[in-house]
Amino acid sequence: MKRYAVYYAPPPGALADAAAQWLGRDAASGAMPAQPHPDLPALTVSARRYGFHATLKAPFRLAPAAREDDLLRAFDRLAEGLRPVMLERLEVVLFGGFLALVPRGDRTALNTLAAKVVTGLDRFRAPMTGEERARRNPDALDDHRRALLDAWGYPYVLDAFRFHMTLSDRLSDAQADLLLPLARRHFAGVLVQPFPLDTLAIFGEDQAGVFHLVHRVALS
């Protein structure tokens, strides 16, 4: 794998199946089901490549001395000390120009969980190259997010973290008007309330730039 990331990706079940159908790919099984609208293949290209997920620790290259096995063992040890989080609910919204599932209600425990993942595994992240930093467009960030980028390799962590599960690429207003009600109908029957977040996953990016489930662990 070229890079690794820590995601929340729902375990096998109704939500995972609905998301795989929506995006046209299941990152765990590799299945590529037919999508429920003819415009979706062109509007989910990037989201399909990454797989259905919420990012906790953004994709990173392994540090020179680290191996995948080292990362997975440390991930398992970290998860042993992390408690499951119960979210009030998830809902489909337009989030920064793309569709996403976002949580409603108190997110304190969720944000704490994400911060522990970011900081607890950072020793496995190789330092950013200049090219990697430039891809994050640091000049467009405020001073605080630029400092987070330089410290942790990603600008939207710790107090800047916003949990979201991406459902599309960036949309025009007309595309969003089309897809938002369709997505809400598609996911309406699978978003249980309250919503338990009780697993985490390591995903890996292959040489073609596609992300796959590598390892999943239950939070105890």
Region 70-98: mean pLDDT is 96
Query: What percent of the chain is modeled with pLDDT above 90?
Result: 98
Q: Please state the domain extents for the chain.
A: 3-218
**pLDDT given for residue 220 in this prediction:** 80
The answer to whether the Cα torsion of 207, 209, 215, 220 is positive or negative is positive
**pLDDT reading at 101 higher than 90:** yes
Region 196-206: mean pLDDT is 97
Binning pLDDT at 50, 70 and 90, where does residue 14 land?
very high
pTM: 0.94
DSSP code at position 88: S
Helix 14-23 crosses helix 173-187 at what angle (to 10 degrees)?
Answer: 150
Query: What percent of the chain is modeled with pLDDT above 70?
Result: 100
Question: What amino acid occupies position 83?
Answer: R
**pLDDT reading at 92 higher than 90:** yes
Region 40-54: mean pLDDT is 97
144-189 tens-digit pLDDT: 999 999 999 999 999 999 999 999 999 999 999 999 999 999 999 9
Average pLDDT of the chain is 96
DSSP code at position 125: B
* Residue with tokens 């029957």, as numbered in its chain: 189
CATH topology of domain 3-218: Cyclic Phosphodiesterase; Chain: A, (3.90.1140)
**pLDDT reading at 109 higher than 90:** yes
Tokens standing for residue 41: 């293949």
Report how far residue 181's alpha carbon sits from residue 93's, in angstroms, rounded to the nearest whole number. Answer: 10
Q: Of all helices (H) and strands (E), which one includes residue 196?
A: strand 195-197
**pLDDT given for residue 200 in this prediction:** 97
